[in-house]
Structure formats: C-alpha cells, structure tokens
Amino acid sequence: MHIVLQVINPPYSYEDMDSAIKIADAALKKGHKVSIFLFADSVLSVNTKVKPIRIDRNIPNLLKDLADRGAEIHICGLCFEYRGLDIEAATPGAELSGVPEMATLLATADRYVNFAV
C-alpha cells in the first residue's frame, strides 16, 4: 500500500514532523511504500544546515534515514522559495516538487494523511 504523510507546521516548534517520521518508520517496517509531502513551513525539515543542540534530534538526518529506506520526500517548491532555502543543502533524497506532484500523490496513493495546521 502507498501511504502519503503531509506536514505543514514547522519542525522543532511543533510535533507534526516527529509524528510523521514515526508513522513513516512503522509503515516502512510493515512493507508499505511511503511518501512524505512537505508543505508550507514544514519545508524547513530538509535543511541540512540546521544546528540543533547536542542532546536534540537532527530532523534532516531522520528524513535521510527514511529516504535511504525507500521513502520519497517531496518538498513544495514554492514554499521552499518563500523561505529562501537552498536545494543544494536539502537532505539527500529529498526532491523539489509542487502541486502537480501533490495531485499525482492524491490521485494514485492508497492513503493520504494530513497533519492539520
């Protein structure tokens, strides 16, 4: 089954990205195909230039781990530009997408889970 998880809120300030990562991990373990769609402020999650304090989690690294295990990471391109982020610094495996890819995921995936904002 293909499961999409869409996040909107910024990482670190709120829990959505963490919940999505944990559900993605469980879905991958069960053999599902997983896509994560990062919309609005959640696009900050792929910025590998983040410097969290030592005892904190590194969210771009957690996403890289999911990508290494086959998860697709979609970044809303316009949202990325609105925050002035650099695709060169994005988590390896994350790809600039947009509304066309969101539409394809909504049309073709089996489940589309949104974290409301």
Partner 1 sequence: MKKVLFAVYQSPVGSIWVNEVFRCVFGMYAEDIEPAVLLVRDAVIALNKETKPEHLGLLPLSTTFKYIERYETKVYAVKECLDWRKINEEDIDPRWHAELISEKDLPKLLHEYDTVLWF
Partner 2 sequence: MSLIMVKFSPNGKMLNSLLFDAAMAGDDLLLIQDGVFYAVAKPELLDELKERGVNVYACKDDLIARGYDPSTVNANVVDYEGIVDLIEKNPKIIS
Indicate whether 40 belongs to the interface with a copy of itself (CB under 8 A).
yes
Going by C-beta distance under 8 Å and a sequence separation of 6 or more, which residues neighbour residue 79? 38, 39, 40, 41, 43
Instruction: Note whether 92 and 64 are within 8 A (CB).
Output: yes
Phi, psi of 62 (to 5 degrees): -65, -35
State the DSSP H helix or E strand holding residue 36, giving kind and residue range, or none if neither: strand 33-38
Indicate whether 1 belongs to the interface with partner 1 (CB under 8 A).
no
Task: Give min distance, CB of 51 to a copy of itself, in A.
Answer: 4
Indicate whether 23 belongs to the interface with partner 1 (CB under 8 A).
no
Closest CA to 67 of 41, 50, 48: 48
Q: Which two tokens stand for residue 49?
A: 């230039």
Indicate whether 15 belongs to the interface with a copy of itself (CB under 8 A).
no
Closest CB to partner 1 among 29 and 88? 29
Indicate whether 114 belongs to the interface with partner 2 (CB under 8 A).
yes
Task: Give min distance, CB of 113 to partner 2, in A.
Answer: 5
Q: Which two tokens stand for residue 24?
A: 């993605």
Indicate whether 101 belongs to the interface with partner 2 (CB under 8 A).
no
Return residues touching partner 1 (CB under 8 A): 6, 8, 12-15, 18, 22, 39-40, 53, 55-57, 78, 98-100, 102-104, 106-108, 112, 114, 116-117
